[in-house]
A and B are shown apart, each in its own frame.
Chain A
């Protein structure tokens, strides 16, 4: 199984500042067929299911604010949230879809300072 490891486990950032969450996969999730990384990012707020923010490592979903961005390739990926807003408080997960079993990171809890 591909192991997804996020860092840090928790993060406290001031309003208006930048938050950076890292995700490392135990093997490459780059599809050679389309040269895209099968890596997604989700935001989960209490009492809600995860919500897809970014797919293919860097493609923002419709309706997701442009302060959210995803970068990385191969085994190392980053979710960046610029100009942190109060509504961004949540747990964030990365997930690989390169191979089954699809696996998620352990989650990063983002709080406001």
Chain B
């Protein structure tokens, strides 16, 4: 079964850090661009980052640029999102999704809450 499973979310104080993971199975992970997308009730669905199949190219949305880092380990079939200097406005459900253009596979999401 083709599947993405996120983990690593939780409650963190403003200024803190979290690392999200996304474990892939059922497909050739190393062949696909991967993305992180987040969703909040107020701002809807927002794309935040992507990485190409070998990890050599990545892009970020402006609100997270310089604070978040996307990476992948193709040997472990795992995508990561390192989130530093977290702010209240980063509170959201974070999804990983398979690309490159349309997101045809999504994980179930992991909740990140930034609050003191």
Contact = CB atoms under 8 A, between A and B. Distances in A.
A100 B50 contact: yes
B108 A49 contact: yes
Interface in A68-113: 93, 95, 97, 100-107
Interface in B75-110: 95, 97, 100-104, 106-109
B52 to A, nearest CB: 12
Interface string A37-60: 010101010001111100110000
Contact of A93 (B45, B59, B101, B108): B45
Given A102-B47, A103-B47, A104-B46, A40 B106 contact: no
A17 interface: no
Interface residues of B, number: 20
Contact of B47 (A55, A104, A105): A104
Interface string B38-81: 00000011110010000000010110000000000000000000
A52 B104 contact: yes
A89 B103 CA distance: 21
B103 A106 contact: no
A101 B62 contact: yes
Q: Is the interface of A mostly helix, strand, loop or mixed?
A: loop
B45, B61, B100 — most chain A CB neighbours (10 Å): B45
A79 to B, nearest CB: 14
A70 B41 CA distance: 26
Most chain-A CB neighbours within 10 Å: which of B102, B103, B107? B102
A50 B93 CA distance: 12
A100 B59 contact: yes
Interface of A: 38, 40, 42, 44, 48-52, 55-56, 61, 93, 95, 97, 100-107
Closest CB pairs A-B (n = 3): A49-B106, A55-B102, A97-B101
Given A52-B103, A95-B45, A102-B47, 18 more contacts: A40-B103, A42-B45, A42-B103, A49-B95, A50-B106, A52-B102, A55-B101, A55-B102, A93-B44, A93-B45, A95-B47, A97-B102, A100-B47, A102-B50, A103-B47, A104-B44, A104-B47, A107-B44
